[in-house]
Structure 1
């Protein structure tokens, strides 16, 4: 306790007294210049311009793509002029084999030494690591490394402070000293180095030689998160997972773990699975596995409920394991779980639901367990998957099964009767069954018009589908009439995207119907709308459509 108290006093002192003055890089303003200006300066012998060009191509800034071979050329030109950062970057490229180079630790060390000689802080830090690890033909020398790390900090390379903090903590090249370790971590933290922030956060979060203080730790970790520091994000995720100085939030914890996972080779899959497990268990208050399945089954069909599908699948897997252990896993229960998982995945557009749907429907055939609306929903989902890959005949067959369920239960409001019919009409048209498609769409339009409820979106889609049917039969006046109804409807709905597309459709239909002036008016309205919305792509598309229309008009007059 006394040691922690003393360490806390030391840290408070360092926190108040240590300051960091960033090194001003004389070439920073060059990044605002155009590539042409930079090339002109570089060709005139400006070493910094050569380096900045190399960095731009190295990082893929201001250019179409990253080009490390071109970066290498500019770095060499800058290095020939004695530019320290270019020398350091060449050392890094030889160390890691970037830009098509073979790894050559000897050349890497040589470039680091040349860069260090002109005062490059990053090179001093890299050279220190070479001495610490005995790389590039250098003898392993921790004391030499320690001195170089200190020089790197003095030359403005803050991350070297983290290396110094680690060395004083472990006694590498020096005697162990927690206070000195803390000092160097604070130096890095004052420079807003995320690793410096993280190391101090760890000390406070876990109470290692400093009194446990979650609030201080979280404040530091948030700074690391802002810089996309993977380790900071993982520990901040742990704080949200357990509610340490923040409100417990599994969603935020999961988000942070996922952002940290894979960064710099980090693996947080175990943590991700753990949080998903906790989120899954929180989805239901029921304790009995069978009651939990029933609760989750009801949940996925409730549009008001919000949940993570992966958490649900994790929980279904856990429940299946529990039931399997006690030999209570009946076909009906397994079917309920497959139904629940299938519908949840379908609702978020995950095509992995296909196997779940087939499994649930397969169990239903042998051991019926579904409500009619559930069976209709799964059949419709299966059909939509077929539509997604243009498998029209397969979709039509499945939609017919869904329609059979729908007809058997016409008063079940939970069955999407109209949507099934809408998709059937669309699929029939795409499959070439034009007469039947028109018949289905006409019947659907009549039903929607008689319905006491309002289905504006479905009505708009049905009008468009029927217009396409009539267009095939060259009933152009009828097509115009249908699109006029659709345009009035979507304008009432204030759906800009649908208005924009309908203006094009009605313009083309009007031209086909011989109503040239009206067609031109619709094309111009579309351009005006695109201008108002300010979407450059839409503006270009609308103008191109008008130009093509005018060409067609001129051709039609020429043919006459």
Structure 2
């Protein structure tokens, strides 16, 4: 089925009649074409189209970046209780993307997304609770929300639950429990979880395995994080860790990312 079988602009009735296969083709095709269709669907007040269009406008994917338009899309979709849009409205309010920074409002929308069952909403709301930003500091409640997201397999939340257990924050410290959460976070692809897991593997003398996990980090990590662990690992007692750190600090990111 080809997108050329359908044409723009369209009415609400035509939008509702579009088959799933049409949207699947659009999603796998040129982002510029997808933006055209999403713009048309968003104008017809389709909340899912508004949420996805907002993300594309925020990222500059297939369209010139426009944070103000992105925020407007998230607002429109969030008013229809679209969970990801509620979360992204919170992100915009937290960081000032297309609107004024307002951590209190950000917390409201993160919580709305969390209560709607979105793991990213749970994670973002827990982050504010853990820092007391926009809401009263509450580590117990933060951990509850991290746990809920972790139970859904959310990689970053798995890592943070591990940290609560490693450091004994509002729970009895348990390195074995932390180890399990870090492992699951690493397997789920979080670069911070991969680093936490590698460090605990090294503690257990499993250096080769730990090094293999370190080598996965550059594929997804931020440069700031890589620089931080580079400085930390340069002081390691393990030669393979120091060699990895030297590559990081030499800014040899292309080689590291290519493996």
TM-score by length of 2: 0.76
> 1:104 aligns to what?
102
Please give the alpha-carbon distance, in whole angstroms, between the structure 2 residues aligned to 1:164 and 1:216.
Answer: 22
Which residues of 2 match residues 157-172 of structure 1 at below 5 A?
157-172=154-169
For the pair shown, which has the larger CA radius of gyration, 1 or 2?
1
Give the 3-state SS of the residue equivalent to 2:239 in structure 1.
coil
> 2:111 aligns to what?
113
Which residues of 2 match residues 90-101 of structure 1 at below 5 A?
90-99=89-98, 101=99
Task: Give the counterpart of 1:153 among 150, 153, 158.
Answer: 150
Unaligned runs of 5+ in 1: 1-26, 260-560
Unaligned runs of 5+ in 2: 1-22, 255-259
Please give the alpha-carbon distance, in whole angstroms, between the structure 1 residues aligned to 2:117 and 2:243.
Answer: 47
- 8 A Cα contact 1:162 1:196, kept in partner: yes
- 8 A Cα contact 1:197 1:224, kept in partner: yes
Please give the alpha-carbon distance, in whole angstroms, between the structure 1 residues aligned to 2:138 and 2:131.
Answer: 8
- 8 A Cα contact 1:236 1:256, kept in partner: no
User: Structure 1 residues 171, 250: closer, same or farther in 2, change over 3 A?
Assistant: closer
Give the 3-state SS of the residue equivalent to 1:98 in structure 2.
coil
- 8 A Cα contact 1:60 1:66, kept in partner: yes
> 2:14 aligns to what?
none
Superposed CA RMSD in Å reads: 3.0
Superposed CA deviations along residues 31-74 of structure 1, whole A, max 9, x for unmatched, are 445211112222333322111100001011111x3210111111
User: Structure 1 residues 197, 44: closer, same or farther in 2, change over 3 A?
Assistant: same
TM-score by length of 1: 0.37
Please give the alpha-carbon distance, in whole angstroms, between the structure 2 residues aligned to 1:188 and 1:115.
Answer: 22
Aligned length in residues = 225
Matched, 1:174 2:171: yes
> 1:200 aligns to what?
197
1:254 is displaced (CA, Å) by 4.3
Matched, 1:244 2:242: no
Which residues of 2 match residues 59-458 of structure 1 at below 5 A?
59-63=59-63, 65-99=64-98, 101-136=99-134, 138-205=135-202, 207=203, 210-211=204-205, 213-230=206-223, 231-232=225-226, 235=229, 238=233, 244-245=239-240, 252-256=247-251
> 1:34 aligns to what?
34
> 1:551 aligns to what?
none
Superposed CA deviations along residues 369-402 of structure 1, whole A, max 9, x for unmatched, are xxxxxxxxxxxxxxxxxxxxxxxxxxxxxxxxxx
Q: Which aligned segments of 4 or more residues in structure 1 are displaced greater than 3 angstroms? A: 27-33, 228-239, 245-259
